[in-house]
Amino acid sequence: MSQFAALPDPGQAQTLDEVAGCLRLLKAWAGNPSYEAIAARVNAVRPAGEQVGKTTVVDCFRAGRRRLDADLVVAVVEALHADTGYTIQWRQALRVVSGETRAEAQVRVQDALPPLQPGYVERAAFAPAPVTVLSGMAGSGKTRLAVHHAHRLAADRVLSVNLRGSHPDQPPVEPGAVLDGFLRLLGVPGQHLPHGLTALAAAFRARLAGTRSLILLDDAVSDTQVRPLLPDVPGSVTLITSRRRLGGLVGAAHVPVGVFTEAEARAFLAAAVPEIPAGPDPGAADRIAATCGYLPLALSLVAEHMRRRPGWTLTDHADWLTERRRTGRLDAGVQTALDVSYRSVSTPARHLLRLLAFHPGRTFDTPAAATLAGDPPLAELARHHLLLPAGPGRWALHDLVRVFAAARSADEDRRADRRAALTRLLDHLIATCADPDELAAAASFAAAEGWPDHAARLERRSGR
């Protein structure tokens, strides 16, 4: 049995020493077969004149090499894990390390769907169209939802790929690299692959003609990345997930993926940690869900934390989470996911997001945002699901995005600049706001932040 939960990723290798290190990890993952056994497996599929000895195979695993035989390394990989998509990934990684191509041209393609993950909670159903885009904020469960629906569909051909649109360390994948890998999986020999994106896309469509094909394109970055990968043949179904609204895909069905409902969050926790008692607070599970903003990723990470704390009740976990939120701390996994989305928008959009974290109301309109940052790039933030629609002309921040953005403001904004922007906002609310609840919230905010004059004026306007 493997001691690693996942295959080593050759895409992380930048040097020959790192390639050799990844190969050693793969050997351990495969159960540490002897070098003699690996050499025997390699020779079993090589012509008589190309047999290799144990020493030659051992050299592939050693650090300090100035060059590696790429074909032999790939043969060793195949001997340790005979998966075509994984082998393609190694070939691409070796080309990147040797300087033949860039990291964008490296990708792992598969001719199967990712496995179903335990703990899935049934959500709102959708009927897959020929092209369906599932979009939503980081951590909303888009991939799990797409995979779950994909497993329900019948198909002659299945292809899937992670396009790395929001990978924290690696660049988004070039569509030509995906088509190269897909065509190889479909049986096209490397020497017969056409050159150029247009020719590759045409060959891909021709190969799938007359079949019921199912394509899963996970974590897309843009319309441009996705468009060449659409089979566009009768009987094909393509499921796409993205943190962005891929509005340029004309004719696609667009399915927004939000956070859990209260009932879905409760069902998720009941299935994920059924053995944990509620403790003195019977509403602890609901408190946990609310503190996580009903975000599936956040709830999954909290469930993992629960499993590592035997003896804790749900009440203990709810209290622990409340304290973390009070101090502005997020789980590292949520922090990373939101940071990738944050870094993907423009500098003005980041600036606005940081200031919006301090808006005292649950929702806000465009004029209020304009007092904070001039011409506010609200549409850009919405395309990346860092803002949520909250009614005609109004917007909202998810609770965890608000916590994240406030922390970034503490690191990136001058206190005087932030104070000046918020003063403008409070003046705007005093002059224009007619909602008593929003005015009362603004008054409480102004009092807590040390603006007694603004607080008094807002209180008078609220009538409380």
Taking only the tens of pLDDT, the chain with its 464 residues reads 344 457 888 877 878 888 889 999 999 999 999 999 999 999 988 887 788 888 888 988 988 877 778 888 989 999 999 888 888 888 888 887 877 666 677 788 999 999 888 778 888 778 889 999 999 999 999 999 999 999 999 899 999 999 999 988 788 999 999 999 999 999 998 788 898 899 999 999 999 999 999 999 999 999 999 999 999 899 999 999 999 989 899 889 999 999 999 999 999 999 999 989 999 999 999 999 999 999 999 999 999 999 999 899 999 999 999 998 888 889 889 999 999 999 999 999 999 999 999 999 889 999 999 999 888 999 999 999 999 989 898 999 999 999 999 999 999 999 999 999 999 999 999 999 888 888 888 999 999 888 899 989 988 888 76
Is the alpha carbon torsion for 20, 160, 224, 383 positive or negative?
A: negative
* Integer CA distances (angstroms), 326 to 16, 215, 321, 334, 415, in order: 47, 43, 9, 16, 20
| Gap between the Cα atoms of 110 and 68, Å rounded | 26
CB 207 within 8 A of CB 183: yes
DSSP-derived secondary structure for 292-338: TTT-HHHHHHHHHHHHT-TT--HHHHHHHHHHHHHTT---HHHHHHH
What is the distance, to the nearest Å, from the Cα of residue 236 to the centroid of all Cα atoms in its chain? 25
* CATH 3.10.20.30 fits domain 131-256: no
**What is the per-residue pLDDT for 119?**
75
Q: Which of 133, 114, 225, 245 is nearest to 178 (CA)?
A: 225
Q: Where are the beta strands (DSSP E) in 374-429?
A: 388-389, 394-396
pTM for this prediction: 0.78
Half-sphere exposure of 30 (CA within 13 A, CB side): 20
Tell me how many helices (H) and strands (E) the chain has.
21, 9
Give per-residue pLDDT as tens, 206-246: 999 999 999 999 999 999 999 999 998 999 999 999 999 89
- How much is the pLDDT for 100? 66
Q: Are 316 and 351 in contact (CB under 8 A)?
A: no
Q: Letter for the amino acid at 207? A: R
CATH architecture of 335-462: Orthogonal Bundle (1.10)
Question: For position 109, what pLDDT does the model report?
Answer: 92
Interval 281-311: pLDDT, tens: 999 999 999 999 999 999 999 999 999 998 9
pLDDT digits (tens, 9 = 90+) for 411-426: 999 999 999 999 999 9
